[in-house]
Structure 1
């Protein structure tokens, strides 16, 4: 199950989907479309779901029929939900009524929780930290803040443009369990890639004990000293002690070079493709300057069943089999 709709979210769902038809900044219809196409299988409290379907049979029979068909097809699943607060949530200082509904939602076997409104942003961050799942609110959908989950975003970068990885990525950060970076030239061009800024931004909501960061590149090494020099450079750039234990470095096998042509950052919820690689910046404090024309494509997990997100997910084990761990060459602690 991909997502769970809280009772509060479910109640406003039909009205917000209707509004989305006339407001392109509203992502509710994108969510609805993803559910209809089975890109996003969601659950909801069974009692609340059936109450809503019954009320829609009188108020809006056409939409009620559509939701009923989604439930019958298993695209919206009725779940048993209890207002019990798990022990791990007991110490969060949030209003009890909110905590009951959301703590219960977080115990569901889903990757994302959809809720109506969280009054305090601090509460939202605490819930995501303890529950370790993204929490999507009404406002996130109404203002297109999470459009990247359902669409492809394209960003052309021209020579002379300013760009900062941390600022760009911060708009798309969630609690991640997997971050995967694939670029055949990342190790070779490590001095011109802001890997530290990328990792710091991407891991902002992530728990080191639940996160794995995997990087596949090509060492382009012609001697052991060259290998050690490259790894030492990476060691200094990933100067984030709490995340070093999450980091796994791989080098592609020479016979597999055609497999690793594309350059991507993949997470549990989106994939970013850099058309001409990640070494397009002259690194400076604050904003870097683009020195090589490039285009970034950000594709959401729920945009299409044939998207690059699914392609990389389905092929990642093959990529690892076509690689070998860097620590086999040089110990990386």
Structure 2
């Protein structure tokens, strides 16, 4: 390992084996950090070690419900990042478990370890009084982080895109299989942000380039409605599909049916067609960077990151999947 790779110290990434996590690990490696990837199933993340030089990436088992494993993951480290989150609940993982109590457990361990550089990933739309359990738990996690580690930096991204994303890839698969695409909240606005831009923001934060204690909202250069984004997927994959707008009450009814079907089928109901009532609640509000964040320069641009547009990135992987028959 050369001197450049030794100069930054050791950073623990909770959730480093996930979609965003893999890109964060790679960005930190390129920036000269050693990385400890803390995740529930480290044996499934062995491929991450190929990102760096021998000894530059360490895998360790950690569970946000187990304080001892969290503390062990933070032993001797210089910085920490918490990326752990879930989009839907299951019998063994609830929003409160992961995004509220889990965030508090990580922040408590960071405080006790004396770590001063800490980044926590939340989401645009986090609100303590939201009707969405997802959004409420994100807000509770943010509050716990700032209570215990006041200098922590919180990043709130809009929907995240990249080669393994669960948004553009999902709708491309739906467009391949379905002649009609029903959308709940078709007019809801999003500001998709590239996963590598988020990773770069985290690198800058750990390098001391972000305001301590600040909450940043991360969005790309474009604001588009849900309908416009799905139509864009159809255009890129060259499929003519009918996009039908559904009301929120109809959407909640459909989501309730798919949730029940998934439960009764013991998870065998196609994930592609699944939707939850909580997701319907999230779709009632725009998912874009606020005017307040722009004015305070707590955005990607404020960090000096030029966000990349979906047109520059999304076709590169949707085209590849289309050619592969996926």
TM over 0.5: no
Return the structure number with greater relative CO, CA threshold 8 A, min gap 6. Answer: 1
Q: TM-score, normalised by structure 1?
A: 0.28
Larger of the two Rg values belongs to structure = 1
